[in-house]
Amino acid sequence: MRPALTVFGLLAAAELLTPQRWWLERLAFVVPGPRATRWLLVADAVCLVALGLVARKPLVGVPLALGGGFIALNALGLALTDFYLGLAAFHLGVGLTTSLCARRWRWLGVALIVLALVLGALT
């Protein structure tokens, strides 16, 4: 019976630590499911390629945009302490950047933002 009490004690202690992450739990509706995330990453890559093609030198711009996107994704995952929340913020950030900077392909950024929000709410 003694080990059962320690397990319940650990569970009670864990309950005391969770209010620090309530803000993360409230944002769970924005985070898409795993299958939707795969397709959103493809859409992110398309938007990053569109951003690279807008550059003066597209042969340099496309790899720089993809590499910068990869670094930004990892930085958001570390900064928000939850990779999937960072991934949701990354989808919105890439969509916003594409809609503001890609002249001919602004609609790609808007479509990515709408798709990320809809898939986040549905999955």
Q: Counting Cβ atoms within 10 Å, is residue 110 exposed (0-12), middle (13-18) or buried (19+)? A: middle
Q: What is the tens place of the pLDDT at every residue in 16-35?
A: 555 556 666 666 777 888 88
Residue 81 lies in a domain: yes
pTM of the entire structure? Answer: 0.76
> In which domain, by residue range, is 63 found?
22-122
- Count of structural domains, the chain: 1
Mean pLDDT of 80-90: 85
Share of the chain above pLDDT 70, in %: 77
**Short-list 119, 104, 106, 120, CA closest to 30:** 120
Residue 99 covered by a domain: yes
In angstroms, rounded to a whole number, what is the distance separating the alpha carbons of residues 1 and 88?
Answer: 44
Q: Answer whether residue 1 is part of any domain.
A: no
Question: Is 26 part of a structural domain of the chain?
Answer: yes
Note whether residue 11 is domain-resident. Answer: no
- Residue 6 belongs to a domain: no
35 assigned to some structural domain? yes
